[in-house]
Amino acid sequence: MMVPGRTTPGRDRLTHRLVLWDVDGTLVSTGPVGRQALETGAAEAAGLFEVPHVSMSGKTDPQIVSEILAIAGASPEETARLLPAALGVAERRLAEWRPRIEAEGFVQPGVADVLEALAGTDGVRQTLLTGNVEPNAFVKVDVFGLARFVDFAIGAYGSDNPNRDCLVPVALERVARLRSDHFRADEAWVIGDTVNDLRCARAGGAHCLLVATGREGIGNLGGLEPDHLLDDLSDTPAVLDILLG
């Protein structure tokens, strides 16, 4: 999203950046609701009485639900057949639980200020690159009033490809096709909180800023060698220097 005619003070007007935001653990935390929606979707679609616990950090929604179904005993063919119904249930539950997200979740430190500053910078577009399917991503961001800063149409989602490593090219193609704005991969920044965010950035040729606001923490991220690693996004000028410098 870009506001014409506005430039962050001290920035070169020729700045050209595509900022790709992860959602969970990076922009917001939704509490237990996100997990519960996916587990409920799998349970209802497959008739499960017990839902296997799987790690969800940094994975796509289709990947997570497929893992649940496979561990529960579904064959690959059954998993493929049940997946659309399971994701549909998860989308409906998450939308119904918006009040819970607002009550149990929160915006990560500094996020709102960085989003607003980038939205007011000429030459910058920002969107989502997330494992969430698009409807779930919108709900999680919109609940906290952040949707106005994000150009959802040019984003890349778990609904586009269950393999997160394939998502940077999706966003680059969409911004070129829908906004007639052509970014090189090295003009894109993935902002995330997991090793999977870094891996997808590297796979797509983009830069990566990791923040230790998710479950992995600064200790687990420190050895990964992203382009930059921060405790959080609370120092707006420092974040802008990284992304726009």
The tens digit of pLDDT for each residue in 171-182 reads 999 999 999 999
- Report residue 127: phi and psi, to 5°: -150, -165
- Report residue 67: phi and psi, to 5°: -65, -40
Please tell me whether residues 53 and 144 are part of one structural domain.
Answer: no
Q: Give me the torsion for CA of 67, 68, 71, 73, rounded to 10°.
A: -110
Taking the C-alpha atoms of residue 40 and residue 236, their distance in angstroms, rounded to an integer, is 38
Please tell me whether residues 48 and 114 are part of one structural domain.
Answer: no
Number of domains in the chain: 2
- Residue 127 within any structural domain of the chain: yes
- Residue 2 within any structural domain of the chain: no
Distance of CA 82 to the CA centre of its chain: 24
Please tell me whether residues 90 and 49 are part of one structural domain.
Answer: yes
Q: Is the pLDDT of residue 187 over 90?
A: yes
- Residue 88 within any structural domain of the chain: yes
Q: End of a domain among 61, 83, 102? A: 102
Please compute the mean of the pLDDT values over residues 224-238 and round it to a whole number.
93
Name the β-bridge partners of 29. 106
Q: Is the pLDDT of residue 229 over 60?
A: yes
Answer for the pair 147, 126: CB distance below 8 angstroms, yes or no: no
Name the pLDDT band for 4 (thresholds 50, 70, 90): very low
Taking the C-alpha atoms of residue 100 and residue 21, their distance in angstroms, rounded to an integer, is 23
- Tokens at 158, concatenated: 């778990």
CATH number, domain at 95? 1.10.150
Please tell me whether residues 156 and 234 are part of one structural domain.
Answer: yes
Tokens 């607003």 appear where? 116
| Domain of 81, in residue numbers | 33-102
Please compute the mean of the pLDDT values over residues 187-215 and round it to a whole number.
94
